[in-house]
Amino acid sequence: MKNEKISIDYQSFNSFEELLSTDRMLVEKALEATKNAYAPYSEFYVGAALQLKNGEIILGSNQENEAYPSGLCAERVALFYAGSEYPQEEVTALAVIAKSDKTPLLEAVTPCGACRQVMHQTQLRQKKPFKIILAHENGSGFIFGSADALLPLSFQFNK
Ligand SMILES: [Zn+2]
């Protein structure tokens, strides 16, 4: 047996000024999307904005439900909408940002495991990775070049 190591490449930023204008616009759209979050239970408002190759921008926000597992995260709302409305269109980037009334967020929100798996599947489906921008309202955040960076050893039936 031998020890192995997985490393992840990503970029960090401290100000939205550091972002490409297209990425910054996507973060602003994601922030706008937080306004449509339905989160009466967690009071944690997440917005996602994804860019399609055809120029369309799809927004998503978390939608909670009294029966907890019936709700859905912002990222999956946006990705599933894109998949059902534009099944042939490539996702080129996804921005995520969150606001919370209850607990101040210290840094950019990071997607849950289920959303990471769906991001991975989107890449498999389109046979191309997409950029993921995780942002905080204070202007800081992280950029990942691929969903696989966020989910090493992701579930895949046929490796
Ligand atoms: Zn999630």
Angle between the N-to-C axes of helices 74-85 and 113-126, in degrees from 0 to 180, rounded to the nearest 10: 20
CA 73 to ligand 1 centroid distance, Å: 4
Residues 136-148, mean pLDDT to the nearest whole number:
97
Give me the catalytic one of 64, 75, 85, 107: 75
Interval between CA 110 and ligand 1 midpoint (Å): 9
Residue 36 pLDDT: 98
Q: For position 44, what pLDDT does the model report?
A: 95
18 falls within a domain: no
Q: Is residue 155 part of a domain?
A: no
Ligand 1 center from residue 115 Cα (angstroms): 4
What CATH code is carried by the domain that includes residue 101? 3.40.140.10
| Count of C-beta atoms within a 10 Å radius of residue 73 | 21
88 CA from centroid of ligand 1 (Å): 23
Q: Is residue 12 part of a domain?
A: no
Tell me whether residue 43 is one of the annotated catalytic residues: no
pLDDT tens for each residue of 3-62: 999 999 999 999 999 999 999 999 999 999 999 999 999 999 999 999 999 999 999 999
Q: Could you tell me the pTM of the whole model?
A: 0.95
Is residue 76 included in any domain, yes or no? Answer: yes
For residue 93, tell me if it sits in a domain.
Answer: yes
Could you tell me the residue range of the domain that residue 137 belongs to? 29-150
Asked if residue 106 is part of any domain, the answer here is: yes
Per residue in 52-98, pLDDT (tens digit) is 999 999 999 999 999 989 999 999 999 999 999 999 999 999 999 99
Domain count, the chain: 1
Q: Is residue 65 part of a domain?
A: yes
Element (H, E) at 74: helix 74-85
Residue 159 pLDDT exceeds 70: no
pLDDT recorded at residue 156: 81
Neighbours of 70 (CB within 10 A): 9
CA–CA distance, 134 with 8 (Å, rounded to integer):
15
- Termini Cα distance of the chain: 22
Share of the chain above pLDDT 70, in %: 99
